[in-house]
Amino acid sequence: MKTIYERIIPLAEAEKDRVSKQTAEKKKRYEIEVEKLYHLLVRYETFLKAQNEMGTVELLASQYRERARDVVKQQIERQQLYVTQAKNQYERAQVDLKEAMIEEKKFTRLQANQLEEARQINALLEQNQLDELALLQFGRGRTS
């Protein structure tokens, strides 16, 4: 017959593994979103450099570049929101993982304590049986 801990610990381990995988996925998503933001920032900076280096250029080309720069700026603002959301989800996943690890450790520790207590009780019973046997042996030795 399985003890309660032998049934609970595998469940706690499975939960910890599930949350660990989720955390890894959230971290990967966060890293992807940050990378997208980085590329948008590089693109925006390229527009700014090109605008500064041009000096006097054709009005139409200048307006096109300015609109393109504004579009990239809007994409950057949107991407910053995605990065923030991904970061918040990743941080929450880290908290969930920590809680799952604590939960698993708690049950493992409780099981170890129960096993130690059972060992001590068995050792005490064994010692009592040895004491009784010694008393019986001593009692027989005196009557002979």
> Could you tell me the two tokens for 17?
């593994």
The per-residue pLDDT for range 87-136, each reduced to its tens digit, is 999 999 999 999 999 999 999 999 999 999 999 999 999 999 998 988 88
Long-range CB contact pairs, 6-14, < 8 A, 24+: 6/111, 8/107, 9/104, 9/107, 9/108, 9/111, 12/100, 12/103, 12/104, 12/107, 13/104
Enter the pTM of the model.
0.67
The percentage of the chain sitting over the pLDDT mark of 70, rounded to a whole number, equals 88
Q: Give 87-124 as a DSSP string.
A: HHHHHHHHHHHHHHHHHHHHHHHHHHHHHHHHHHHHHH
State yes or no: pLDDT of 56 exceeds 80. no
Give the whole-angstrom CA distance, residue 126 versus residue 134.
12
Q: Report, as an integer, the average pLDDT of 72-76.
A: 94
- What is the tally of structural domains in the chain? 1
Asked if 93 and 19 touch (Cβ cutoff 8 Å), the reply is yes
User: Which CATH number fits the domain that encloses residue 61?
Assistant: 1.10.287.1700
State yes or no: pLDDT of 61 exceeds 90. no
pLDDT greater at residue 6 or residue 89? 89
Residue range(s) defining the domain that contains residue 24: 4-143
pLDDT value for 16: 93
Interior angle at CA 24, CA 22 and CA 26, nearest 5: 70
Q: Report, as an integer, the average pLDDT of 3-10.
A: 84
State yes or no: pLDDT of 1 exceeds 80. no
pLDDT value for 144: 54
Give the whole-angstrom CA distance, residue 49 versus residue 108.
60
Give the whole-angstrom CA distance, residue 72 versus residue 76.
6
